[in-house]
Amino acid sequence: MTSSAVQTSRDRAVAAVRELLLAVGEDADRLGLLRTPERVADLVLDVFAGLGVDPVSALGVPVALTENEHPGELVGVTGIPFRSICEHHLLPFDGTADVYYAPSRHIAGLSRIAALVEVAAKRPQLQERLGQQIADALMTVLQPHGVAVRIEATHGCVAHLQPNAAASRAVTVATVGVIPDATWRLARRDTPLS
């Protein structure tokens, strides 16, 4: 996006926040609110910075494995923190993502997987879709045998609409392809070995 397009987006966001304040009966010219539209617009533009960015781009160029290299049956990066915005109520949801893949002929830098989670999260989102987008991007770029993405998050909309469930955590798992059961059980922190 060009700098003039970014400024146009910011100007529109500032005007929209000001209009929202007026719509709820607030005095947008009140001293304490004078800079609020700019602050909110800048925050929202950052929170939605992943819009228009293909999550695949976060993975960069995969590392090709030689015939003699074998990275193991499963590669995982766990506890990746993220924050996203629920598209239903525009309230935040925060959590962690555990991302696993069973390599075939390519691997990705571990920091690239964390970057993938961040890019996919920085847009109006649903937790279920977030996990699937991460899994699909890994399948597209690395072409592994399989991918599993486990996301656990708390949702601002749940906390607001159902205060008794404010501490609840939503768990979603997205899988694509095949990950051997025994390997998956070893990787899962909350599954006892048997």
Q: Which of 173, 178, 133 is nearest to 152 (CA)?
A: 173
Domain limits, CATH 1.10.286.10, in the chain: 3-47
The CATH architecture one would assign to domain 3-47 is Orthogonal Bundle (1.10)
CATH fold of the domain at 58-187: GTP Cyclohydrolase I, domain 2 (3.30.1130)
Instruction: Note if 160 is an active site residue.
Output: no
Cα–Cα distance, 89 to 109 (Å, whole number) = 34
Please give the Cα distance from 26 to 123 (Å, whole number): 28
Please give the model's pTM, rounded to 2 decimal places: 0.86
Of the candidates 89, 143, 145, 152, the residue annotated as catalytic is 89
Portions of the chain given CATH number 3.30.1130.10: 58-187
Q: How far is CA 87 from the centre of its chain?
A: 13
Length of the chain: 194
Confidence of residue 194 (pLDDT cuts 50, 70, 90): very low
For this structure, is 145 an active site residue? no
**Per residue in 72-125, pLDDT tens?**
788 999 999 999 999 999 999 999 999 999 999 999 999 999 999 999 999 999
Partners of 172 in the β-ladder: 151
Contact yes or no for 85/49 (Cβ under 8 A) = no
Active site residue 128: no
Which residue out of 19, 87, 128, 160 is catalytically annotated?
87
The answer to whether 188 touches 148, Cβ cutoff 8 Å, is: no
70 among known catalytic residues: no
Q: How far is CA 65 from the centre of its chain?
A: 28
